[in-house]
Amino acid sequence: MSPESPITNHQSPRRDAPPRIALVAGEASGDGLGSGLIAALRKRFPEAEFAGIGGASMRDAGMNCWHDCSELAVMGLTEVLRHLPRLLRLRRALIGRLLAWQPDVFIGIDAPDFNLGLERRLKSAGVPTVHYVSPSVWAWREKRAAKIGQSADRVLCLFPIEPPIYAMHGVDARFVGHPMADRFPVQPDRDAVRSALGVSGSPLLAVLPGSRLGELRRLLPRFLDAATRLRDALPGLRLLIPAANLKCRELIDAALFDHAQDDITEVFDGRASEILMAADATLLASGTAALEALLAKQPMVVGYRISGLTYAIVRAFGMMRVERFSLPNALAGHELVAERMQANCTGENLATALLPLLSDPTGALDSVLPEYQRIHTELRRDASANAADAVAELLHARGKVVA
């Protein structure tokens, strides 16, 4: 996002009042992280006030949402450029409202394109800033860590591979663990989940083509093409697809009809975690869903495509520094799961990678389970409590007594 005018009116702490905590979450996953953090902070600061941008979960946790997080949910270079004027107007207005509200700390949850600029301006005005969920500095240029430190007084990392990168640039970064790892059982009860979903038979393939419409349009046709190719080899194949919202469901239903897959597919409203625990294998878009599949102990194939222009720019400027792009492989340090990116993300390639997983689900799971369990245990740290402790330290330094 383009620069905005600097702010010089430095804020002084509101020492005799309950702490005011501002948060901005950019999408549904950030809304979940934010609600857990608010609940943990509420235990430490029962009288705290929370305000900013979030979704239903953060509202339910007691935050005054000035805007809904769906207003920030855009991705990819070309998509961000298209929405840039609106996002800049929103951010300028939000800066003014936040400074008038005088928060004791600001927490930007993910959404780095929006939040880092916001954090930088609030930090220059004397507001302590926290960035919760590090951008993927392990995948993109590591020097970006130094620039993040110019915006955030403290970075809360979900993965242990991230703080050492920040340390090289003198940035205060803490590994707090991943809330999703706290939520998933270490050993899922697949039979119980299948019973709860009302599904049975084998093989069951979970298909998660993303929660944004742009992702769905790019990936779902290729994912369904893969399923078509698998049907001949696996006559009993059934697909389980979670729809993130009504618009996603409409697009999914239309694509299933076009690809003649509606007869073997069950579409659910949400319930992605249960579907992952129920299936024999999973085909999914890269991103947080891949980590969710690992925690659900799912053999998987990860496929992804971004817009052609975005991909050309990323490659031309050397912005991506790794060949392995999925979280399971990054955390394992080797190719733990199959990846098919960009031109390689075709129905044929995806089907070829999926066939051995669905032909022998037990063997496929046994081959990855020890590494899955190791990563799960490493990430299972009571993340919301750890994140709240890191924020509480900043509030204490600002004159707020920890409850």
pLDDT > 90: percent of the chain: 66
The label of the residue with tokens 């979704």 reads: 55
Topology of domain 190-379 in CATH is: Rossmann fold (3.40.50)
Instruction: List the chain domain ranges.
Output: 20-177+381-397, 190-379
Give pLDDT tens digits for 274-324: 999 999 999 999 888 999 999 999 999 999 876 665 555 555 555 555 566
Q: Is the pTM of this model over 0.75?
A: yes
Q: How confident is the model at residue 205 (pLDDT cuts 50, 70, 90)?
A: very high
Arch. (CATH architecture) of 20-177+381-397: 3-Layer(aba) Sandwich (3.40)
Give yes or no on whether 20-177+381-397 and 190-379 have one common fold. Answer: yes
How high does pLDDT run on average in the chain?
Answer: 88
